[in-house]
Amino acid sequence: MTRPRWILHLQASFFRSLMSIGMFLHRRASPSPPSPTFTRSLNTTVSPHPGRVKLHFYAPKGYDAHIKPHQRRRRSVVKRHLYPVVVNFHGGGFTLGHPTDDARWAAYVMSRVGAVVVSVDYRLAPKCPFPTAVEDGVDAMLWLADHATELDLDIDRMAISGFSSGGNMCFTVPLMLQECLLYRAVSRRTAALSTLELENGENVKVVDTIDAPTDTENSIVDPPTNTTTSMLNPPTNPSPSTSTSSIAKDPTKIIITSPLELNIRGVVAFYPPVDYTQSRAARRATCIRHDQHLPALFTNLFDRSYLYPPTLNKANAYLSPARASDDMLAALPEEIVIVAAEWDMLVKETEKFRDRLAGEGGLGKKVKYWCVPGVPHAWDKAPNPFRETPGLAEWYGRSCDELKRILE
């Protein structure tokens, strides 16, 4: 029996209200977590469905880029302190949640790592099902790269953190970003080539190895009009093309923007789902505490909202990173920190994924894996207004120590 989508929309808004009450209580506990220092909005470019995404910035002490932006721009090239960046994706099954839910985490990262935390208000299902969240995450990364200078951000020192569905995005966003940067580099190169052609008035034939989109400068690949064919089936190898274009005699003059302009050094993923090819029943069966499951009411809502249409290929790399090819996974950041929860139905798939990334015969990533004992999924977001969740200082602290090392 398929239920009409409007019921999902109703359920989602109902649970969003409940969750915001829960998070309100969570934020009451002392020490009270910070509010965002400032926000920025961007127009999306990756998703075929245009929209806006808000970025919530949490800036550590001493950061003042937001205070007098006009003065700052006029200031000459004095040596400025650049801040490392941790881009954060909140949890809520791609359906619920808000970027301020992770304010406590942001507080730890600011004080222990000295990084600017950018929590992303990616669009949610059921209105925006897969892969909009991932596409919006990629847009956030690209926007930050473009605005790094004015915001004193060091894009050579970036990391991604995320909780639950946001933990999934710790992997899927870099995977999709890799593809987008590739197209972007190629489109910039094509633009540079055509400029040189005009200057020289000469045509020299060159065989492009990549089928480049013809747009210019800041736009990435043309928004896919049919996600089924473009984003959902990422090309593992860009299709070779025999199209010819022109190039100047002196290729050293050509500025090629490397796909590595943005350096994501590591990710910190809290209790991430990484393999949607498994049914919830199969996932539940792996769990050691059946009384601690996320209720089916929620998981059904999440899955019906985000995994749409139901015929969606669940092995898609941007949904189930654990099913991505080795070639794709090799492009993930070198440093991977995973903080699982012992009573979570996602532990087993996460451990398998960890072994693929790191273990003997794995991809050789530096993986730090912790499984927090005796806690359920989303344990750190307890709606207790009277005290901070026990264990938070320890596990957030350890994760921050790793982030500090990674971003040094």
Q: What residues line the site for ligand NAG (CB under 6 A)?
A: 43, 226, 228-229
Question: Are 301 and 14 a contacting pair, CB within 8 Å?
Answer: no
Question: Are 128 and 139 a contacting pair, CB within 8 Å?
Answer: no
C-alpha distances in angstroms, 35 versus 39, 87, 130, 143, 292? 11, 16, 29, 22, 31
Identity of the residue, 228 or 263, whose beta carbon is nearer to ligand NAG in the bound complex: 228
Identity of the residue, 71 or 229, whose beta carbon is nearer to ligand NAG in the bound complex: 229
Q: Strands 116-121 and 83-89, how do they pair?
A: parallel
User: Minimum Å distance from CB 42 to ligand NAG?
Assistant: 7
User: Minimum Å distance from CB 292 to ligand NAG?
Assistant: 40
User: Minimum Å distance from CB 363 to ligand NAG?
Assistant: 31
Question: Are 407 and 113 a contacting pair, CB within 8 Å?
Answer: yes
C-alpha distances in angstroms, 131 versus 169, 238, 251, 314? 10, 20, 38, 12
Identity of the residue, 30 or 229, whose beta carbon is nearer to ligand NAG in the bound complex: 229
Reduced to 3 states (helix: H, G, I; strand: E, B; else coil), residue 137 is helix
User: Minimum Å distance from CB 43 to ligand NAG?
Assistant: 4
Identity of the residue, 103 or 140, whose beta carbon is nearer to ligand NAG in the bound complex: 140
Reduced to 3 states (helix: H, G, I; strand: E, B; else coil), residue 369 is strand
Q: Strands 116-121 and 153-163, how do they pair?
A: unpaired
User: Minimum Å distance from CB 60 to ligand NAG?
Assistant: 26
Nearest-10 crossing angle of helices 5-28, 103-113: 50
User: Minimum Å distance from CB 313 to ligand NAG?
Assistant: 12
Find the radius of gyration of the CA atoms of the chain.
22
User: Minimum Å distance from CB 342 to ligand NAG?
Assistant: 42
User: Which residues is 266 bridged to in the sheet?
Assistant: 159, 335
Identity of the residue, 16 or 66, whose beta carbon is nearer to ligand NAG in the bound complex: 66
Q: What's the angle, vertex CA 192, arms to CA 191 and CA 196, rounded to 5?
A: 120
Identity of the residue, 148 or 337, whose beta carbon is nearer to ligand NAG in the bound complex: 148
Identity of the residue, 228 or 244, whose beta carbon is nearer to ligand NAG in the bound complex: 228
